[in-house]
C-alpha cells in the first residue's frame, strides 16, 4: 500500500481468501476499510514508523466475521516511492487454544478451591470430633468405672460357682472395654492437642500389681501362666502419670498373653 494515502496496491491470494474478497474489490481501497474495522484507531501504520512494527489485532472479513491476526507492517521503498508492506497471520486457532486453556485453568482453580474447602471442612469436623471425645473423657469413664465398682462389690456377696464365673467374665469384659476406651480417648486427646501428662507421686509396685490383676484372667483364658516380678531396687514412689504407666504395662502384658498359647508369660520390673 502507498504511504501517502494508505491505498492498497497489491494483495496475495491467501489474504484475499482470508478476507473473503476479490482483488477487484480491494485494490485501491483505503487499508482501514478492511484491516482496521475500528475506524483506524490504534492503527500502527498511522504512527511514525521507523522500522518494522508488529501487533496482534482483530480484523473483519466481508461477512463481518472477526478474525484475530498478528499484523506486521514494514516500510519500504520501490524505485523511490514509499510503501508499506503489511502482512497478516491468522491466529484464530491459537486464540481458540488459549481460550480452552484459560477455561481449563479456571475450572481447575475452582476444583482446587472446592477440594480445599471440603478438606478444611473435613479437618474441622475431625477436630470437632476429637475435641468432643477429649472433653467427654471423664463422662465416658465414670459410668464404666461405676459398673466395675459394682461388679467388685457383687463378687463379695454369696454367689455360687456358676454365678461367680459369669461375674468373672463380666469383670474381664469391663476391664477390656475400659482399656479400649482409654486408648481411644487418649488418641482423641492427642488429635485435639489436649493430652496432659500428670506429674504426681505414685507407687510403681502397686501400679504393676493392679495391672497384673487385670491380665491374670486373660492369661487363664488362653491356658497361660502369668508371673510378674518386681525388682527390689524399684523405688516405692515415682513422680509421673500413673495411668500412662499402667497403660504401657497393660499393652506389653496384653501382647505377651495375646501371642502365647498354653505357655508362660513372665514380666520383670
Contact 204, 235 (CB under 8 A): yes
Q: What pLDDT score was predicted for residue 108? A: 93
| Domain layout of the chain by residue ranges | 13-90, 197-269
Phi and psi angles of residue 156, each rounded to the nearest 5 degrees, phi first: -90, 0
Query: Which residues have C-beta within 8 Å of that of residue 129, sequence separation ≥ 6?
Result: 188
pTM over 0.85: no
Nearest to 168 by CA among 150, 153, 155: 155
- pLDDT tens for the chain, 269 residues: list them: 777 778 888 888 888 888 888 888 888 887 777 666 555 555 655 555 556 677 788 888 877 788 888 888 888 888 888 888 888 888 888 888 989 999 999 999 999 999 999 999 888 887 777 677 666 666 776 677 678 778 877 887 888 888 888 888 788 778 778 777 777 777 766 666 666 677 889 898 888 888 887 777 778 778 888 888 888 888 889 898 887 788 788 888 888 888 888 888 777 66
Task: Check for a shared fold between 13-90 and 197-269.
Answer: no
Q: What pLDDT score was predicted for residue 170? A: 85
Architecture label for domain 197-269:
2-Layer Sandwich (3.30)
Q: Give me the torsion for CA of 111, 117, 118, 121, rounded to 10°.
A: 180
Looking up cell 502384658 gives 253
Report the CATH number of the 13-90 domain: 3.30.450.20
- Alpha-carbon distance 168 to 152, whole Å? 9
Amino acid at each position: 500500500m502507498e504511504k501517502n494515502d494508505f491505498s492498497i496496491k497489491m494483495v496475495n491470494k491467501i489474504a484475499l481468501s482470508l478476507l473473503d474478497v476479490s482483488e477487484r474489490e480491494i485494490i485501491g481501497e483505503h487499508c482501514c476499510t478492511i484491516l482496521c474495522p475500528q475506524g483506524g484507531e490504534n492503527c500502527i501504520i498511522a504512527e511514525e514508523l521507523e522500522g518494522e512494527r508488529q501487533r496482534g489485532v482483530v480484523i473483519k472479513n466481508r461477512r463481518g466475521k472477526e478474525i484475530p491476526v498478528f499484523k506486521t507492517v514494514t516500510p519500504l521503498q520501490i524505485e523511490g516511492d514509499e510503501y508499506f508492506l503489511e502482512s497478516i497471520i491468522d491466529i484464530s486457532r491459537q486464540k481458540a487454544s488459549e481460550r480452552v486453556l484459560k477455561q481449563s485453568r479456571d475450572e481447575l482453580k475452582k476444583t482446587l478451591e472446592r477440594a480445599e474447602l471440603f478438606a478444611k471442612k473435613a479437618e474441622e469436623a475431625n477436630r470437632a470430633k476429637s475435641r468432643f471425645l477429649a472433653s467427654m473423657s471423664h463422662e465416658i469413664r465414670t459410668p464404666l468405672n461405676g459398673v466395675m465398682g459394682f461388679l467388685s462389690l457383687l463378687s463379695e456377696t454369696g454367689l455360687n460357682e456358676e454365678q461367680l464365673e459369669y461375674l468373672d467374665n463380666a469383670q474381664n469384659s469391663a476391664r477390656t472395654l475400659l482399656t479400649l476406651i482409654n486408648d481411644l480417648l487418649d488418641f482423641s486427646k492427642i488429635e485435639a492437642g489436649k493430652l496432659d501428662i500428670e506429674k504426681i507421686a505414685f507407687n510403681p509396685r502397686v501400679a504393676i500389681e493392679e495391672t497384673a490383676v487385670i491380665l491374670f484372667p486373660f492369661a487363664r483364658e488362653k491356658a497361660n501362666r502369668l508371673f510378674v516380678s518386681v525388682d527390689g531396687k524399684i523405688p516405692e514412689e515415682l513422680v509421673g502419670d500413673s495411668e500412662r504407666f499402667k497403660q504401657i504395662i497393660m499393652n506389653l502384658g496384653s501382647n505377651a498373653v495375646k501371642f502365647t498359647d498354653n505357655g508362660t508369660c513372665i514380666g520383670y520390673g
